[in-house]
Chains A and B, each alone.
Chain A
Amino acid sequence: MGAVSSQDCDRFRGLIALEAFGRLPESERPGLVAHLDGCRECREDGRELTELSALLPAADLGNLDEEQMPGALPGAVLGRLRSDARRERRTRSLRYVLGGAAAAAAVTLGLALSLGGGVAASRTVALTGGQGVHASLRLTPEAWGTSLRIEESGQRGGQVLWVSMRTTSGKWWNAGTYRTMSGHAVQVDLACALGLANIRSVWVRDSAGNVVLHAYLD
């Protein structure tokens, strides 16, 4: 095994990327294998890129040359949702351990009731926000899910806000977006396929992922 130079690595990085996609020409494989055998850094690159390539089939990348898709959630919002979901899962796991069989039975019963499709009444709750912000949320059960009406005033104008809901099982659902208007009260009607009985809390975030309004339903 000979010494590996950084120039060697530069030359093989493209092959590592092709290999991560399974697109490495067979004629070039022996050279790459020999290099990886002697280069820990490139082996690590290969491992990381292979992990990443496994994610790509999840996305429809065929239309990315087109205009920005309006329905795409900003990365910051998604990141916050995902980290919150992870934290919630950890907390829930701990709670299950501490609560034991009685807590598990209660959770099971609650889930069974919600799956049973019991009709909940329309609810109106106050949304908690920053100083000077007044907001309320009305949730109405529908045959197709839940309709939401947000009425708010006092937010800084021109923001795009993202409304999402957390379920009783700790999952996130997106209900839509709206734009605030300076000096004007805003009334927004949104919809979500999630049943009202399954909604535990509602969160409104700005494009940086910061929570600007929230409410718990229980």
Chain B
Amino acid sequence: MVDHARARAIRTTEPLAEDVAIDGDDVERAMVEWQVEDAVRRLRAEHRQVLLEIYYRGRSSRDVAVELGIPEGTVRSRLFYALRSLRLALEEMGWEP
């Protein structure tokens, strides 16, 4: 009885469905993810910093400007050029809009 309960308890996973192994959309999504991450890593540090703070961490350009001790317009400008550089990097990797 105990052994039976233990056996049931450890069988908590399900085998992968066969179609999971050939889902090309998942591969495509993984490739996009890798490419975006790789492109972000290639950005200049000051560009990457404002991109991550504003986009990923949801901070305002004013907050970032105060923290970095630079004008808010500079933060916004860096964000613009970060995105332009990101687009160029992705295009070099073969990304097409």
Contacts and interface: CB of A to CB of B under 8 A. Distances in A.
B34 A73 contact: yes
A198 B89 CA distance: 32
B21 A69 contact: no
Interface string B63-74: 000000000010
Nearest to A10: B77
Interface string A72-88: 11111011111100100
Contact of B93 (A18, A60, A79, A114): A79
Nearest to B59: A23
Contact of B21 (A48, A60, A82, A195): A195
A17 B27 contact: no
Interface in A112-150: 114-115, 117, 145
Nearest to B75: A14
Given A61-B55, A75-B39, A78-B35, A145 B21 contact: yes
Interface residues of A, number: 54
Contacts of A64: 37, 40-41, 48, 52
A62 B56 contact: yes
Interface string A53-72: 10110111110110011001
A101 B55 CA distance: 49
Question: Nearest 6 CB-CB pairs, A to B?
Answer: A14-B76, A79-B94, A59-B36, A79-B93, A171-B24, A17-B80
19 contacts: A14-B73, A15-B76, A18-B76, A49-B87, A53-B83, A55-B95, A60-B33, A60-B37, A62-B56, A64-B48, A72-B41, A75-B89, A75-B93, A86-B94, A115-B18, A167-B22, A170-B24, A171-B22, A194-B21
